[in-house]
Structure 1
Amino acid sequence: MHSLYDWFRRHRFAVDLVVMAVLWFVAVPLGLVNAGSGSGHLVGTFVFATALVVPLAWRRTRTVMAGAVIAAAAVLQWALAVQPMPADVAVPLVLYALAAFAPRWASLCGLALAMLGAVMLVTRFFFNLTSTSLASMPYGAVLILTIWVLVLFSWTAGDLTRTKRLREQALEDRAHRLEIEAQHERELAASDERAHIAREMHDIVAHSLSVIITQADGARYAAAADPDVAPATLATIAETGRSSLQEMRRLLGVLRGGADASMRPLPGLADLDGLLLGIRAAGLPVSCETTGSARRTLPPGAELTAYRVVQEGLTNVMKHAGPNVTAAVQLHWAARGLEVSVRDDGRGASASFADTAPLPAHDAGPSPSPPRGSQPPLAGNGLRGMGERVKLYDGTLHAKPLAGGGFGIAAFIPYSET
């Protein structure tokens, strides 16, 4: 039944054409039977019946045109004194169509013209004002009121159809907009999830591989002079590989929807000691200093972000700072949140990582939190990932060369106010 209704909606002209043809084959013969015996009456009845009924085929597709043609035919019928005929039923039908499908101005014009036409019809064919006594005037008034009731009924039914159609169209438009918005939300969620996975994969793989490569290169040269170095180095490589494998399994478990894997705790600030031990074992001297006291506890996601900032910063030191370099990690609990900085005294970075002003030197204490909303452009997957992580918690990240040499990363993660 629903598919049949949809077919009628899609093929409006075909349906109206069939209805018009049926009405023509009924109204025209009835009009010819009731017409006078003269050939002129038969021709006039046939012509006007056709002119009144045929435009109904366009009552929904070309509503204003159909209404104008039928109105012109009805006025001409009145002017030539052609007697009313069954085909005149096209007038209330097209009035319904004007109220339902035409613009509002055409609907109101059709109503006014039909009301006037009722008076013209009665006074022309049923009630002659010049030759009828005043006693019979109530009969004419009743006749006019009866036709007006028919006209108002047709127009009101069409207007109700119009209101229902506009309401259905509004609901369809709203459903379409909601579907588009839902599709956009799904696309944004998928894009956000891909970015999250990319950040996690980079943080896990890049850090672990950097440690492994550093250890392997160091062991290759040191083993020639001291063979006892190789077992300890291989043990560090194995431990780093196992830790990275566990992190990869946790991430893949979350992607597969495993409840056990998703409930495993993520790294936080309490795990920084283990991270620094691994970095020192890889051959990078690194110091860590914590100042201030936390006004409130950071959420687990914010702690993970701070952990990843330190991890990525030290990984970049191992990859880019060069030999004989030292690093310093500073955590400062300020009034508005946590300030994290990672500095090294290596060979710095390219100009693409530079900002307009250098960070203070190592001995300047914890860096002040960068102004909110002044995020500098960052390059590289690691720095880009750090910037995305920090931005999720309304924080800021600055990465730039230091005034006295080396490179520094400063991140600010505010408290999550509830």
Structure 2
Amino acid sequence: MHSIYDWFRRHRFAVDFVLMAVLWLVAMPFSVADGGYSSSTVDMVVAGIFATALIVPLAWRRTRTVLAGCLIAGVAILQWALHVPPVPADIAVPLIVYALAAFGPRWASLGGLGLALIGAILLVTRYFYNLTSLSLADIPYGIVMIIMVWVLVLFSWTAGDLTRTKRLREQALSDRARRLEIEAQHERDLAASDERAHIAREMHDIIAHSLSVIITQADGARYAAVESPEIAPETLATIAATGRTSLQEMRRLLGVLRGDDEASTRPLPGLRDLDELLLGIRAAGLPIDYSVTGEARRQLPPGAELTAYRAVQEGLTNVMKHAGPNVQASVNLSWNARGLTVTVQDDGRGATAGLSTAGIPAVPMPSGRARLGAATPVTEAAAAPSGTGGGNGLRGMAERVKLYDGSLSSGPLTGGGFGITAFIPYSEN
């Protein structure tokens, strides 16, 4: 049934043409037989012509509503002017009044109603009660007849206006449903984009750190094994442990992507796991000075702790990749009344040509020893050391911190080396 209704809506002219043809076949014989209350052949032909002219425009009552209304109005006025008596085909007048109210513009709807009301007066006064010979006794009957025709016209117009209101309401609902569908698609696209960004950050943090440790250990073992072969087992053990840890992290991430409930509920790395992270990096040959100042006023959310963990991991990974040989790194966690400040610094080559992820030149920071323990939040700059390929890791770190209304700054230190400082405020939810 629904498909039939859709077919009727898509083929409006065909449906209206068939209905017009049926109406013409029904009204035409009566109009010709009536012949204007005369048996004259001429009168019968004239009646047939006017009947056809009144009914045929109804084929365009929905596709060309105003044109059909003008044609029928013109034929009706010509019929009145030539004094052609009414015929059954005059039923086209209330039908076109309905069509104008239902499918035409508002001005055409009201104009058609006005013309039909005036036409009712002209019809009654010309064909039923002649004003020139009308007696006082006939006036009430004439008024009653005019009112009856008006009732027919007003009924047709009201029915059409109700149809118009229903059509506009259905169209508004259809437009709203279409807008909601578009908005839902946009929301799905945004969610997918956000999820891709999240996965990209996780993959970078896991792979970049692990491969940096593995490559550093492999290069060191290759050069040191010649003079000290006993170093090889220890180095291979560090590489194996780093690989196993990375494999576990990758399995956890892939489990989340597959919708594995068991994998998705496993605890994420947090501040409690920093000792293990630093132990692995120290085993890779990077000396690290780790300190904590202040006390936490309240516990950070798990996601914020993961952000702090990733900030330390990314900072130390960059030290291993870009700071050069014989460097010293320092990690400081500073708690204050507003939140946590994470600082990772080194005394290596620094970043003389660092650029922020937004293309803003990196601002030099105070020296490493003077900066440790600072608890004041910093502005977001996210500068990248030279050789980082545009600072993708720092850009991802800045995105992580921003999710928790924090800020991130990075850049070369005035006394040499490079520093990263991330501030993560307490969540007030």
Which TM-score tier does this pair reach, normalised by the shorter chain? over 0.9
**What is the CA deviation profile of residues 179-224 of structure 1, one whole-angstrom value per residue up to 9, with x for unaligned ones?**
1111111111111111111111111111111111111111111111
What's the offset of the Cα at 1:174? 0.5
Match of 1:7 in 2: 7
1:406 aligns with 2:417: yes
Indicate conservation of the 8 Å contact 2:383/2:391, yes or no.
Answer: no
1:150 aligns with 2:152: yes
2:377 to 366, 369, 375: 369
Indicate conservation of the 8 Å contact 1:355/1:376, yes or no.
Answer: no
**What is the CA deviation profile of residues 359-378 of structure 1, one whole-angstrom value per residue up to 9, with x for unaligned ones?**
1111223343124xx55576
Q: Distance in 2 between matches of 1:273 and 1:383?
A: 22
* Gap regions ≥5 residues in structure 1: none
1:325 to 314, 327, 330: 327
**1:193-232 residue pairs with structure 2 within 5 A?**
193-232=195-234
1:31 aligns with 2:31: yes
Indicate conservation of the 8 Å contact 1:355/1:399, yes or no.
Answer: no
Q: Distance in 2 between matches of 1:277 and 1:243?
A: 13
**What is the CA deviation profile of residues 116-172 of structure 1, one whole-angstrom value per residue up to 9, with x for unaligned ones?**
111111001011122121112111111111111111110010000001000000000
Q: Distance in 1 between matches of 2:297 and 2:122?
A: 89
Indicate conservation of the 8 Å contact 1:331/1:340, yes or no.
Answer: yes
Q: Distance in 2 between matches of 1:377 and 1:96?
A: 71
**SS of residue in 2 equivalent to 1:216:** helix
Indicate conservation of the 8 Å contact 1:99/1:162, yes or no.
Answer: yes
1:386 to 382, 388, 397: 397
**SS of residue in 2 equivalent to 1:400:** strand
Q: Distance in 2 between matches of 1:135 and 1:65?
A: 42
What's the offset of the Cα at 1:356? 5.0
Residue 287 of structure 2 aligns with an amino acid whose one-letter code is P
Q: Distance in 1 between matches of 2:249 and 2:81?
A: 93
Residue 359 of structure 1 aligns with an amino acid whose one-letter code is M
What's the offset of the Cα at 1:256? 1.1
Indicate conservation of the 8 Å contact 2:28/2:48, yes or no.
Answer: yes
Match of 1:119 in 2: 121
Q: Distance in 1 between matches of 2:66 and 2:46?
A: 25
**1:130-169 residue pairs with structure 2 within 5 A?**
130-169=132-171
Q: Distance in 2 between matches of 1:366 and 1:315?
A: 21
1:99 to 90, 98, 101: 101
State TM-score, norm by structure 1.
0.97
Match of 1:351 in 2: 354
Match of 2:51 in 1: 49
Match of 1:188 in 2: 190
State TM-score, norm by structure 2.
0.94
Match of 1:314 in 2: 316
Match of 1:80 in 2: 82
Per the alignment, do residues 381 and 351 of structure 1 end up closer, same or farther by CA in structure 2, a change over 3 Å counting? closer
Deviates more, 1:279-288 or 1:46-55: 46-55
**SS of residue in 2 equivalent to 1:183:** helix
What's the offset of the Cα at 1:351? 2.9
What's the offset of the Cα at 1:392? 1.4
* Gap regions ≥5 residues in structure 2: 385-389
What's the offset of the Cα at 1:49? 1.2
1:257 to 248, 256, 259: 259
Indicate conservation of the 8 Å contact 1:402/1:408, yes or no.
Answer: yes
Match of 1:110 in 2: 112
**What is the CA deviation profile of residues 219-270 of structure 1, one whole-angstrom value per residue up to 9, with x for unaligned ones?**
1111111111111111111111111111111111111111111110000011
**SS of residue in 2 equivalent to 1:329:** strand
**SS of residue in 1 equivalent to 2:238:** helix
**1:328-339 residue pairs with structure 2 within 5 A?**
328-339=330-341
The number of aligned residues is 416
Percent identical across equivalent pairs? 72
1:270 to 257, 260, 272: 272
Indicate conservation of the 8 Å contact 1:308/1:386, yes or no.
Answer: yes
1:71 to 66, 70, 73: 73
**What is the CA deviation profile of residues 309-354 of structure 1, one whole-angstrom value per residue up to 9, with x for unaligned ones?**
1101100110111101111111112322211111111111233247
What's the offset of the Cα at 1:281? 0.5
Residue 295 of structure 2 aligns with an amino acid whose one-letter code is S
Q: Distance in 2 between matches of 1:131 and 1:323?
A: 122
What's the offset of the Cα at 1:26? 1.6
Indicate conservation of the 8 Å contact 2:354/2:383, yes or no.
Answer: no
